[in-house]
Amino acid sequence: MPTLNEVLPKYAEAGNQGLLLAVDEIAQHGYLHEHIHEAIKSQDFVDDNQMLGYRHPNGFAKIRLATLPDYGWVVRVHLWDHPAADSDIHCHRWNFASRVLAGSLTEKTYAISAEGSGPWSKFSCHSERGSYSLGYLGQCDIALQEHLVYRAGHSYERNATTLHLASSETGSPTVTLFIQGAALQPATTVVRSSRSAERSDTAAQAYERDELAALLQRVLNILSGA
């Protein structure tokens, strides 16, 4: 059977149009399970001076499984092992596709409805190795566009400019497969209520290799119903 790293390039060659196709094939045809099994067995977590995995400040684990440097793609698995939610409305530097493998995920999307005034504060956000810095851009107002719930087996994709919030609020763990495309912009946009605009940001907490192995085994256990 081909490996995950052998399957990915044929989709990456299609650019952002291949993201959703890739996330579905990897999940449906066993490539993800096999890749995680091999990573746990070999403890071969490739280190290219990037964080391999970390606890995001919003409360979920992000674990990098594979990278395609020639295409700018990154494959990750996300684990919400307790109820958690994004603290800020935000977009991304890249398009992405995601598939819920276990549990459920709620997403709300937004649009800026007014610039220059309003009850929300807008920032540019730069991140490096899990540390985030914000630059104030001004006040704005926003409008809710969609309120969606994704359950196990559901896939979706978003472009880099979509403002959204994600949360997992069920009593059972949620696991998602996540593939990001090549970077399209140097920074993201973050929108906060003006009441929380001065809130300090917490840096991500990197995992050690043994912690990563334990988390990946937990992912496999959840997916197998153990």
Tell me, what CATH number does 111's domain have? 2.60.120.10
CB atoms inside a 10 Å sphere around CB 197: 16
Q: How many domains does one find in the chain?
A: 1
**Helices and strands counted in the chain (H then E):** 4, 13
φ and ψ at residue 56, rounded to 5 degrees = -70, 145
Task: Kindly list the distances between the CA atom of residue 46 and the CA atoms of 27, 52, 143, 183, 192, in Å, as whole numbers in the listed order.
Answer: 21, 8, 42, 21, 36
Task: Kindly list the distances between the CA atom of residue 54 and the CA atoms of 10, 76, 126, 155, in Å, as whole numbers in the listed order.
Answer: 29, 11, 17, 23
Range of the domain at 160: 4-224
pTM higher than 0.85: yes
Dist CA 201 CA 151 (whole Å): 30
Q: From first to last of the 226 residues of the chain, give the pLDDT tens digit.
A: 788 989 999 999 999 999 999 999 999 999 999 999 988 888 766 555 455 888 887 788 999 999 999 999 999 999 998 877 778 999 999 999 999 999 999 999 999 999 999 999 999 988 776 677 889 999 999 999 999 999 999 999 999 999 999 999 777 899 999 999 999 999 999 999 876 656 555 667 888 888 999 999 999 999 988 4
Dist CA 131 CA 135 (whole Å): 14
